[in-house]
């Protein structure tokens, strides 16, 4: 099977490169003197051209993200649209789970630890609820692959996803956009900013609301339009204070409120022996016996202060302080049906509500940096993290599971240093090191059985070394080796099911990467590629579900991943822009003694043994869960110019996803293969007589209405959940400048 997968992936890679090359040099398209815009990223905590960074990085602007979110899409819309990046969730619009190069965590608990760090406006969003903050008024998102533990350092063995909001400017600017679509979709987003006190204070305020009506019937209870919708509001206020040339401060306050439907679980939509959706699946209908219809509600707010001092010698001192808070709950009919009409055989009913009773997260970073224009540049700093939150698991009817409340605490501090040296005119060498002390504790506040407090801690060093070589004006080569660290973890989900908390030791990732960054066609193309290989010692896994219905942390002796990525953009002419991305990721668990629980009704293909009366699967050699073996993404925009610089345009985007195993064990049912999805926009963009841009477009998301299996629940029956339905509608946008 591995040989077949390798051959398939290499064929896809070859086909992708060939297609890109053909598109790049197609003789039928007129040449242009224009070039692609420079993309500036802050992966190294300095502003740099993305082509000058010795790391595999992808950046996308807010304009690039807009087509994915205008129909109500959330942060999960990034899945498979960036090479080696995947995302999924079994908690609706909250608690997303991210994977980079196959490395992630399938744990659905509100205390789950993830190796992909999400950062918003330079504040790490550690808890899974914080990671789901809505995307609006975004200037840029940067995805950095591989360990980023030197300068970011917070559970980054897989990589980072960093969002930067549009900042206040002295010039008055703003926009308003609105969408009306099918499924009672109504979305509005607006921003306004400019000078408040000339030369001293600027500000920016942005708001958004995303709404969808309930469209899924609960046929068992006879309730039409019982679930499936959501109503989300969010806002952000920023103030930029510049009293002198040598000091500035950026203050940020943001909040969100969500009420809607959690994930929709559907019983027995997979037939034993097959991963294809069967006749039990109806996108618009479920058969829940729970009268609550999977409600979900979350609120949160946060604030930050980014202070910068600049000295006469070019050095700078930065202080970044942050606070985040959240609370809410999600209820799910976990068995996905009922015991009377099913669908299919459901041995027992199950509904569970998980509540985040409170969350308080405090962060503080200090960073001292040299001037940027030296042959040798450096940064040193310190980072502090303090978080506490409580999670309650219950059945709202008081039947099962019994109500359980646990409190988690986490304190972390670290110090770091990084330097880059221009060794020759063409060669730059960089290196960094970080020491981290990470402590976690758990106290069970309410449960049927007594449980003693649990504490885990560790101290580790992360580091990275890289070399960047300008081979010629339009081509650079780089190499990078990095060691990442994810701290020890406590999982208490099973306390509600009469089991003690479980723990996992720290995991460390040693990653090797070589790549190229090219700008051929006289700057009208950007093609970046990388080959990588990594090993993860004591890989943290969450053994979720199985016939025993457990959620327990385990460590695999080792995990191995390797593959390639290609990220490209082509300005074929002034009116035609193409982007394409490809990634191939081969992952493998290496632990001949690791045993995990298996599904209740599916067909397990791994060797199995019986331990204390329970069937367990040997998973040595299996791929990582939720790790697509390859992804292919593509966008194209063609404009038809008209008078006065206005234009008609057509835009389309597509992704294709290879085989993806859903759990740690392998089965005939719980995997996906060949998932794809596309979107289309057709519209008109122009300017008013006053020079103000506007745009109107017809759009379709999931244009072919694909029904893709994206996750499953295995402890009771062959339950699955699927992607979002097709949505179409009209969108308009008007800007001040």
Q: Is 612 left (phi over 0), alpha (psi -120 to 50) or beta?
A: left
Dihedral angle of Cα 277, 283, 289, 295, to the nearest 10 degrees? 120
Q: Write down the CATH superfamily of domain 2-585.
A: TonB-dependent receptor, beta-barrel domain (2.40.170.20)
Identify any residues that bridge with 54 across adjacent strands, giving them in sequence order.
none
- What would the pLDDT profile of 159-212 be if each residue is shown by its tens digit? 999 999 999 999 999 999 999 999 999 999 999 999 999 999 999 999 999 999
- For 644, list phi and psi in degrees, rounded to 5: 65, 25
Interatomic CA distance for residues 578 and 570, integer angstroms = 5
Structure tokens at 342: 């099913």
Write out the H or E segment, with its range, that includes residue 223.
strand 223-227
Looking at residue 517, its pLDDT comes to 98
| Residue spans of the chain under pLDDT 50 | 1-31
Residue 574 to residues 31, 60, 167, 528, 729, Cα–Cα distance (Å): 9, 20, 29, 22, 28
Distance CA 6, CA 23 (A): 26
3-state SS assignment for residue 6: helix
Q: What is the pLDDT of residue 3?
A: 39
DSSP 474-527: TEEEEEEEEEEEE--EEE-GGGGGT---EEE--EEEEEEEEEEEE-HHHHTEEE
- Is the separation of the CB atoms in 240 and 231 below 8 Å? no
What is the reported pLDDT for 507? 96
**How many CB atoms sit inside 10 A of residue 26's CB?**
11
Judge contact between 148 and 484, C-beta under 8 A: yes
The model's pTM:
0.94
pLDDT given at position 15: 40
Distance, C-alpha 269 to centroid of its chain: 27
For residue 643, give the 3-state DSSP assignment. Answer: helix
Q: Map tokens 């360990």 to a residue.
A: 147
pLDDT of 552 reads 87
pLDDT given at position 529: 98
User: What whole-number distance in Å separates Cα of residue 267 and Cα of residue 345?
Assistant: 9
State how far Cα 228 lies from the chain centre: 22
Q: Looking at residue 103, what DSSP letter applies?
A: B
| 440 contact partners, CB below 8 Å, separation of at least 6 | 408, 409, 410, 455, 456, 457, 487, 488, 489, 490
> How far is the C-alpha of 15 from the C-alpha of 128, rounded, in Å?
37
The CA distance from 584 to 457, in Å, is 35
Please compute Rg for the chain using Cα positions: 25
Would you call 209 helix, strand, or coil by DSSP? strand
Whole-angstrom distance, CA of residue 560 vs CA of residue 424: 35
With residue 614 as reference, give the H or E element that holds it.
strand 614-618
Give residue 361's pLDDT: 98
Which pLDDT value is given to residue 543? Answer: 87
Query: How many Cβ atoms sit within 10 Å of the Cβ of residue 160?
Result: 26
Nearest to 383 by CA among 429, 352, 428, 417: 417
Spatial distance between the Cα atoms of 283 and 266, rounded to a whole number of angstroms: 9
- How far is the C-alpha of 5 from the C-alpha of 280, rounded, in Å? 31
Residue 540 phi, psi (nearest 5): -80, 130
pLDDT digits (tens, 9 = 90+) for 660-711: 999 999 999 999 999 999 999 999 999 998 889 999 999 999 999 999 999 9
């Amino acid at each position: 099977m591995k040989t077949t997968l390798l051959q398939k992936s290499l064929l896809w890679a070859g086909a992708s490169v060939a297609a890109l090359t053909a598109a790049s040099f197609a003789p039928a398209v007129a040449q242009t003197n224009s070039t692609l815009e420079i993309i500036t990223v802050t992966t190294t905590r300095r502003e740099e051209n993305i082509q000058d960074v010795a790391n595999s990085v992808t950046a996308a602007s807010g304009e690039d993200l807009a087509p994915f979110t205008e129909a109500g899409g959330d942060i999960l819309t990034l899945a498979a649209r960036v090479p080696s990046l995947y995302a999924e969730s079994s908690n609706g619009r909250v608690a997303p789970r991210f994977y980079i190069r196959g490395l992630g965590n399938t744990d659905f608990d509100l205390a789950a630890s993830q190796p992909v760090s999400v950062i918003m406006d330079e504040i790490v969003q550690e808890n899974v609820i914080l990671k789901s903050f809505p995307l609006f008024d975004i200037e840029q998102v940067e995805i950095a692959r591989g360990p980023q533990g030197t300068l970011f350092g917070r559970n980054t063995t897989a990589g980072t996803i960093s969002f930067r909001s549009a900042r206040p400017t002295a010039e008055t600017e703003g926009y308003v956009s609105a969408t009306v679509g099918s499924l009672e979709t109504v979305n509005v987003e607006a921003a306004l900013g400019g000078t408040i006190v000339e030369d001293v204070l600027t500000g920016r305020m942005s708001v958004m609301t995303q709404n969808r009506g309930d469209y899924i019937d609960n046929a068992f209870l006879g309730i039409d339009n019982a679930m499936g919708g959501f109503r989300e509001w969010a806002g952000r206020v920023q103030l930029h204070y510049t009293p002198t040339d040598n000091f500035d401060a950026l203050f940020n306050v943001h909040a969100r409120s969500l009420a809607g439907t959690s994930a929709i679980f559907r019983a027995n939509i997979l037939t034993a022996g097959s991963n294809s959706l069967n006749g039990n699946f109806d996108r618009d209908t479920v058969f829940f016996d729970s009268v609550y219809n999977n409600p979900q509600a979350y609120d949160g707010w946060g604030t930050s202060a980014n202070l910068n001092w600049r000295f006469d010698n070019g050095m700078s001192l930065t202080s970044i302080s942050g606070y985040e808070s959240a609370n809410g709950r999600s209820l799910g009919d976990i068995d996905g049906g009922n015991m009377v009409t099913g669908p299919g055989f459901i041995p027992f009913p199950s509904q569970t509500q998980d509540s985040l009773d409170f969350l308080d997260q405090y962060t503080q970073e200090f960073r001292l940096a040299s001037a940027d224009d030296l042959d040798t540049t450096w940064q040193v700093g310190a980072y502090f993290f303090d978080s506490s939150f409580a999670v309650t698991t219950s059945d709202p009817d008081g039947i099962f599971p019994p109500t359980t409340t646990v409190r988690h605490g986490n304190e972390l501090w670290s110090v770091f240093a990084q330097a880059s040296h221009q060794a020759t005119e063409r060669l730059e060498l960089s290196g960094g090191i970080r020491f981290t002390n990470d402590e976690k504790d758990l106290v069970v506040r309410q449960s049927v059985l007594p449980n003693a407090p649990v504490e885990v801690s560790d101290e580790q060093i992360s580091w990275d070394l890289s070399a960047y070589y300008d081979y010629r004006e339009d081509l650079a080569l780089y190499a990078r080796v990095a060691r990442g660290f994810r701290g020890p973890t406590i999982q208490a989900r099973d306390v509600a099911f009469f089991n003690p908390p479980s723990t996992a030791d720290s995991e460390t990732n040693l990653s090797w990467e070589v790549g190229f960054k090219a700008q051929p066609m006289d700057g009208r193309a950007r093609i970046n590629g990388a080959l990588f290989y990594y090993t993860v010692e004591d890989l943290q896994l969450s053994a979720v579900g199985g016939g025993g219905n457990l959620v327990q942390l385990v460590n695999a002796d080792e995990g191995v991943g390797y593959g390639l990525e290609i990220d490209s953009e082509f300005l074929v002419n002034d009116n035609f822009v193409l982007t394409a991305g490809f990634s191939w990721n081969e992952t493998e668990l290496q632990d001949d003694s690791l045993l995990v629980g298996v599904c209740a009704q599916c067909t397990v293909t791994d060797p199995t043994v019986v331990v204390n009366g329970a069937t367990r699967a040997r998973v040595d050699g299996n791929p990582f869960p939720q790790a697509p073996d390859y992804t292919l993404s593509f966008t194209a925009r063609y404009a038809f110019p008209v008078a006065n610089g206005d234009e008609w345009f057509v835009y389309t985007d597509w992704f294709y996803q290879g085989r993806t195993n859903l759990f740690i064990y392998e089965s005939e049912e719980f995997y996906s293969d060949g998932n794809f999805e596309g979107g289309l926009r057709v519209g008109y963009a122009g300017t008013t007589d006053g020079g103000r841009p506007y745009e109107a477009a017809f759009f379709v998301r999931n244009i072919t209405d694909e029904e893709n299996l994206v996750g499953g629940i295995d402890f009771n029956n062959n339950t699955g959940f699927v992607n979002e339905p097709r949505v179409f509608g009209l969108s308009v946008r008007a800007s001040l400048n």
